[in-house]
Each structure stands twice: as structure tokens, then as C-alpha cells.
Structure 1
Amino acid sequence: MSISADERRTRIVEAVQSLGSVRIADLAERLGIPAVTVRRDVAALADAGLVRRTHGSVSTTTRPAPVPGAGPALGLLVPSVGSYFDEVIAGARTAASRASAHLVLGISSYDAGADRVQVEQLLKSGVHGLLLAPNWTPDDRRGGRGWVEDLPVPAVLVERRAVPGSPAEELDSVASDHRHGVFLALRHLRGLGHGAVALVARRDTWTAHEIRRGYAESCELLDLPAEPVIDVVTPAVDADAVADSLAEACARGVRAVLVHNDQDAIQLLPLLRSRGLQVPEQLAVVSYDDVFAALGAPPLTAVAPPKRAVGAEAVALLLRRLGSEDPMPVHHVLLLPELTVRESCGAVRA
């Protein structure tokens, strides 16, 4: 069974952290992944500063030892490495470096219960504060969140928003306003004359849930009919079914779609062409994330959450919290995405 790029890269980082240093060929054999794929993933991870690549080997990145008078150590928990969170990590690393702070990375997974284990490891490493992107969804109001009440150090939620009434509501947070991002996409397509916009979306992440909610809200605000959401459960398996659903939507007059995320949108392009749907002539496509969107054929118009800015602002907020002698009010910060217009929507901005 194939695995996603995010899952591959998470496994690679975990293996490298466990082994310290390993030849790429040995790593590929250990993980059961083709060596050419491992080399490509290692190159991307090295560019993001998550591993060190030298002469056919890969090793953990060196972290400066704490020195008296230097900034604090900050633990960063992410659900995976690769694509979206690479940019969040990069923004956090830059901000921490400028403040002479030390960033310690913890990689969880999208499995329930993994977050707490990783946070305990970060705390054992001696971090002074935590930046947390846990495996939560907006609709989960019950389990898996109580442990945030017992944290012995200040914490900031990253790309997560507190559910009202939950323990997390007492934590600082910095996140992209994904609902606003969806509004930008639908407003742009509405302005191009589209009377209906379809949504292709996943269900497995916080962002996916926020996009679904943003779609319903934006359709109402813009007086657009809310089309049945086309679900993506397993991207590689569902791609043909998604393309068929879009072809059916086009047959009934829908000529625009928002796809979460870039990877799924790029995979859809050739499948749409095989069904006689040219982009953007027969179908205007906007993707969400803007990690790989510019590499599409045609280049994809995309909503770009401020990923690096989220990481940087989360570090800045945590450092303010650590350095404040007076009580600070809880901060819930939302940063607005932007829309990057390219060829796939049929209106390249001058």
C-alpha cells in the first residue's frame, strides 16, 4: 500500500533521529522505500533544516548547546514533516534563531494518543515552553485534550484554535484563518461569473474541517448554492472517483472548484483532461495550501495560508509569555491567508 509524502518524510526523520547517522541506501532498505524516493525526500528535509545530508548519508541536525544568558529552549510538536508544516517549522526556526532561542522538534502523528507521548519527551529534554500542533479537529470536544491542563510550562497552539469551553481555550494560539481563505477563493470565482463552486476536501485534519465550515459560511455570504462536498478519504484511491464527480457537477452547470489540497489538485488535472475537461476553459480550479500549486500544469491559483508567519508569530508570542513579569491576557491570534492568482482559474492578475 502506498503512503503519502508526509508519512514517508515523518518516518525518515524518526529513523534518522533514532540512528543519529545512516547511509541513504541503508535507510531506504530499512524503511522499504525506493532509494530514489528517499534521496528526494531527504533533499527536501535537508532544505527545511530537519536533517543534514552529506556524501550519501543523512544525519540529525546539530543543535547549539544552551549557554548561560542565551534564550530558552522551545519545544515544537508537529503532526508530520513535509509540505505544509515544513514552512511552519521554517518560520519558527528563523524567529527562534533571531531571539537566540533553541528549537527542539517533536514529531507526532495523526494517531490519537501520540501527542501526549511526544510532549512528555519534549518536557524531559528541558524545554521552557511548548509550541503545539496536536492531532485535534474542531468537532472533537471530548477526548484527547485534557492533558493540556497539566502542562508545567507555557504553551502556544500552532495552526489550531481552541474549542469554546475546552481546556485549550486557556492557551495562547496562533493560526491561519482558513475560513477567510475559503471566502477569498469563492469570492474570486464569484467575481469571475461563476454561479456555483464545488468543493473537494479531506476530513482528516484540522485544516480540512475548517475549510468545510468556511465553504458553508462563504456560500451563504456570497449567495452561492452549497454543493455536496466531494470527499477525499484516500487520495491515491479516490482520485478517479473525484474526477468522475467533478465531471457530473460540470454536466449540471458547475464550472469552478476549490480543492484541498495542492497535491490532490495537481493529481486531478490529468484525470480531468482525460474526461474532456480542460482547465480553465471548462473548469476553473483553485487549490488550497499553495505549497506546490505553482508547479501544476497549468499553474494553480491557490489560497496561501501564512505558514511561515504562523510559526514566527507563535515563537514571538511564547517568548513574550516567558519573558513577561506581569500577567498577560490569553492571546488567540488569527492571521489571514492570501489568494495567489495563476492560470488555472482563467483570470491571471495583471
Structure 2
Amino acid sequence: MIITAEQRRARILKVVREAGTIRVIELAERIGTAAVTARRDVAALAESGLIRRSHGSVSLADEADSSATHTARERVVGMLVPTVGSYFDEVIEGARAAAASAGARLVLGIAPYESADDRAQITQLLDAGADGLLLTPNWHPANGSAEAAWVRELPVPAVLVERLATPDSAAAELDSVGSDHRHGAVLALRHLRGLGHASVLLVAREDTWTAHQVRVGYAEGVRLLGLQPHPVIDIHRPTLESAGVAARISEAVGQGVRAVLVHNDQEAIQVAPLLRAGGLRVPDDLALISYDDVFAALAASPLTAVAPPKRAVGATALELLLRRLNGGYELPVHHIQLLPELKVRTSCGGGIGEEAG
């Protein structure tokens, strides 16, 4: 027998009244429905002020809760990221600051690259009472966003962060906020072209979403700017093999290349002294631009770098999600791409502190 959402929610209220406080997983078992459906119903009942959610459990709201507007309750935003300690620190900080300004609370989940742990982390965030989600899924570049079918089951609004689903993906109709990394790559190439370089080498990872977008932007920039094309030097993880990468860059220099774009800062900082040991000085013999601008300014010779607007991405995604949660359900889907800028330092001949956009 198929029951309606109203009937399910009436059952939920009955069980919560009897139990007092109950975990969402147990509640789903008691009413005989899927956990994701129970979470969706619980979110709707909490939105109406009939029940209260806290750390994966639900309880009956008291009269004071029921009479208060939902906007008076602290919003809880779950944020899924693939790593901390580098690029995403600034994205998280942007979201955290925006949440604090809006009176919301940010709860973090981490699903490391290649862990296939996205859904388990999201379940934990939902059980912690997340009203909405900021998601950076572990989508492998080779698969596009084909792994995203599970987003159809999300019981709360979600915004993709530094990810953009393909048009045929189940996630294509999710809001998204990210850096335009293709533009960032072209920005670097345009700067080097303006310095007189007719060819630019790309050294890049191949296992992350950002690296894939940088590669696409590089190919577009080479074509648009009339640069001489070169095969990309791949950086394989988890071992960088810096000496091998430096040797291949030196070989390209021997063929006339005098400029290189490296994704990302960690790789660029490790490669630069190896090039010097081999007799190549930056920027005298080789102009070098790093991509990410997390640690680039801290290199022994500060690196010119493409700087994605990391904090702004986090803040914009958080603000968009809160608009959805605070009544903006009729808004059209937003796909927001923020443009990186170029921080010109000494590694391609510019002066420290100069900026070019």
C-alpha cells in the first residue's frame, strides 16, 4: 500500500510523541521507510516548527519553538570537501565567515581524494541536522560527473562548490559556485604571451577536477593566442618525482621553450630549485607561473601565480544556499563562475606586489 507524504509525516509525529527523542535512522525503521525519505520528511516537519533536529536525532518541538519563525532558528550547513590544509582551507574560511555573519553554523565533512566516501560523509552531515549542503564531490575527471546519480536522493537543498556537473548529469540542476579555471589558465598564457613568449609548457596533475579544467583552459589558450603547442608534462600522484619533471622541463627549454605554467604551488615550489641545480634560473632562463596561489608567495623566489577567488567561492556558495533555505525555492538554478586573477611576482620578471587582472 502506497502512503502519502502527509500520512508518513503524521506517523513520524506520532512516533516522536511516543519516543520523546529518537534517532532518524531508528525513526525510519519504525515507520518502515527509507532513511533518505525519513530525512526529507523530518526536514519538512522541522521547517514547519513541529519537531526539532539535533545531531541526528529528532524530538517534539515545544510551544515556544512552534510559535517562533524558522528563520529565528540557527541554520546548520553541512560542507563536504576533499581535503583540508591547502586550497580548500580558504574556501572553508569564506563559507565559515559568511555563515557567522548570517547567524548560521557550518559543519564540516572530509572525504579524501579517491576515498569513495562522499555518501557516508553526507549521511553523517544530515544526521548532524544539516538544513542544506555545500558539496565538493570526488568526481574523477575521466568520469565527468557520471558518479552523481545519488544527488537525486538528497533530502535538503545543495550547492556544488568548485564543481560543475555536465549537462547530462543528475547533478546538472543543482546550484553551483566555482572558479573559472579555464579562464585562469588563459590568463596566465596571455600574460606570458605579452612578455614575448611564443610557446608555454604546461606541467600539471591529472587526477583532480581543477587540474582537468586547467588542462582544458591551456588547450583553449594555446589555440586562441596562437602559441606553439606542446604535450603536457603529467604529474603523477602520490609521488611527484620532481627530478624527472625538472628533467623534462629542461629538455623543453633545450628545444626553445622559455615559459612554463605549473599546477599547482606544491609542485612548482619543489621543481624550481631542481631547475636551478640543473643550470636554469627563474626568471632569467625560464619564466614560471604557478596555479592556485596558496603557497606561491612563500617560495624562495616568490612565484607569479593564478589566484582563484577561493574565499569568495565559499562565501558565495554559502549565501546562495541560505537564499534557498530562506524561501528562495523558486529561484532559477544558478551556475556561478568567479574569475581568477593573476598575482605577478618575481618568477616571470614582474616586480613583487604588482597585480594584473
Instruction: Flag whether TM exceeds 0.5 (same fold).
Output: yes
Read off the aligned partner of 2:212 and give its amino acid letter: H
Q: Is the 8 A contact 2:141 2:208 kept in 1?
A: no
Whether 1:331 aligns to 2:334 is: yes
Whether 1:286 aligns to 2:260 is: no
Q: Is the 8 A contact 1:235 1:264 kept in 2?
A: no
Q: Which of residues 125, 134, 149 is equivalent to 1:122?
A: 125
Q: Is the 8 A contact 2:240 2:267 kept in 1?
A: no
Once the two structures are overlaid, the 10-residue window that deviates more, 138-147 or 256-265, is 138-147
Q: CA deviation at 1:326?
A: 5.1
Whether 1:305 aligns to 2:308 is: yes
Whether 1:172 aligns to 2:183 is: no
Read off the aligned partner of 2:274 and give its amino acid letter: L
Q: Is the 8 A contact 2:258 2:285 kept in 1?
A: yes
Q: Is the 8 A contact 2:82 2:111 kept in 1?
A: yes
Q: Which residue of 2 aligns with 1:344?
A: 347
Q: Distance in 2 between matches of 1:142 and 1:261?
A: 23
Once the two structures are overlaid, the 10-residue window that deviates more, 299-308 or 142-151, is 142-151
Q: CA deviation at 1:347?
A: 2.4
Q: CA deviation at 1:144?
A: 2.4
What TM-score do the two structures reach when normalised by structure 2? Answer: 0.77
Q: Which of residues 230, 233, 237 is equivalent to 1:234?
A: 237
Whether 1:198 aligns to 2:196 is: no
Q: CA deviation at 1:223?
A: 0.5
Q: Distance in 2 between matches of 1:95 and 1:269?
A: 37
Read off the aligned partner of 2:180 and give its amino acid letter: D
Once the two structures are overlaid, the 10-residue window that deviates more, 133-142 or 241-250, is 133-142
Q: Distance in 2 between matches of 1:142 and 1:97?
A: 31
RMSD: 1.5
Q: Which residue of 1 aligns with 2:45?
A: none
Q: Is the 8 A contact 2:160 2:175 kept in 1?
A: yes
Distance 1:212 1:259, change over 3 A: same
Q: CA deviation at 1:83?
A: 0.9
Read off the aligned partner of 1:230 and give its amino acid letter: I
Read off the aligned partner of 2:216 and give its amino acid letter: R
Distance 1:197 1:141, change over 3 A: closer
What TM-score do the two structures reach when normalised by structure 1? Answer: 0.79
Whether 1:217 aligns to 2:220 is: yes
Q: Which residue of 1 aligns with 2:298?
A: 295
Decide which structure has the larger Cα Rg and report it.
Answer: 2
* Aligned pairs (5 A) from 1:5-24: none
Distance 1:271 1:236, change over 3 A: farther
Distance 1:306 1:135, change over 3 A: same
Q: Which residue of 2 aligns with 1:98?
A: 101
The 3-state SS of whatever aligns with 1:258 is strand
Q: Distance in 2 between matches of 1:330 and 1:142?
A: 18
Distance 1:182 1:275, change over 3 A: same
Q: CA deviation at 1:237?
A: 4.1
Q: Is the 8 A contact 1:112 1:144 kept in 2?
A: no
The 3-state SS of whatever aligns with 2:222 is helix
Q: CA deviation at 1:71?
A: 3.2
Q: Which residue of 1 aligns with 2:276?
A: 273
Read off the aligned partner of 1:347 and give its amino acid letter: G
Q: Which residue of 2 aligns with 1:132?
A: 135
> How many pairs does the alignment contain?
284
Which portions of structure 1, spanning 4 or more consecutive aligned residues, are displaced by more than 4 angstroms?
none
Q: Is the 8 A contact 2:144 2:165 kept in 1?
A: no
Q: Distance in 2 between matches of 1:306 and 1:325?
A: 25
Question: Tell me, which stretches of 5 or more residues in structure 1 are unaligned?
Answer: 1-66
Question: Tell me, which stretches of 5 or more residues in structure 2 are unaligned?
Answer: 1-64
* Aligned pairs (5 A) from 1:56-135: 69-135=72-138
